[in-house]
Amino acid sequence: MKTLARITAVVLVIIGILVMLGGMTMGVVGVARTGIRALSAVPVTSGARLAGGGLGGLVILIFIFIQGLMCLAAGEGLYLLANMAGK
């Protein structure tokens, strides 16, 4: 049972890191896309507002990053509990 808990903890940590990296990547892509739109002559349409395009995009990025942190913390907590169960 401890082995299963450790495997699950490692999987949660990896997923948490990937979610956090995904959130940061969305932020970088959103900033780059906003900069490209600002430099182009094409007018900005309302349907082109994705991550990083305004306050709504920033809220989504923060939410995704916090979800990654929570998943990472749950994995670390489970790993610590699995180590304490052996004592």
Q: What is the pLDDT of residues 69-81, one digit of tens each?
A: 999 999 999 999 9
What pLDDT is recorded for position 6?
A: 92
Token code pair at residue 41:
């002559």
Residue 66 lies in a domain: yes
Q: How many domains does the chain have?
A: 1
Is residue 40 included in any domain, yes or no?
no
Domain assignment present for residue 69? The answer is yes
Identify whether 41 is part of a domain.
Answer: no
Give the pLDDT confidence of 26-36 residue by residue, as tens digits: 888 877 776 66
Question: Which residue shows structure tokens 């979800």?
Answer: 67
Instruction: Please report which residue ranges of the chain form alpha helices under DSSP H.
Output: 2-39, 55-85
For residue 28, give its domain range.
Answer: 2-35+49-85
Whether residue 42 lies inside any domain: the answer is no
Task: Dihedral sign for Cα 60, 52, 33, 40, please.
Answer: positive
- C-alpha–C-alpha distance, residues 42 and 8, integer Å: 48
Q: Give the model's pLDDT for residue 53.
A: 53
For the cut 70, the answer to whether the pLDDT of residue 83 exceeds it is yes
Q: Is residue 11 part of a domain?
A: yes
Domain presence at residue 44: no
Specify if 73 maps to a domain: yes
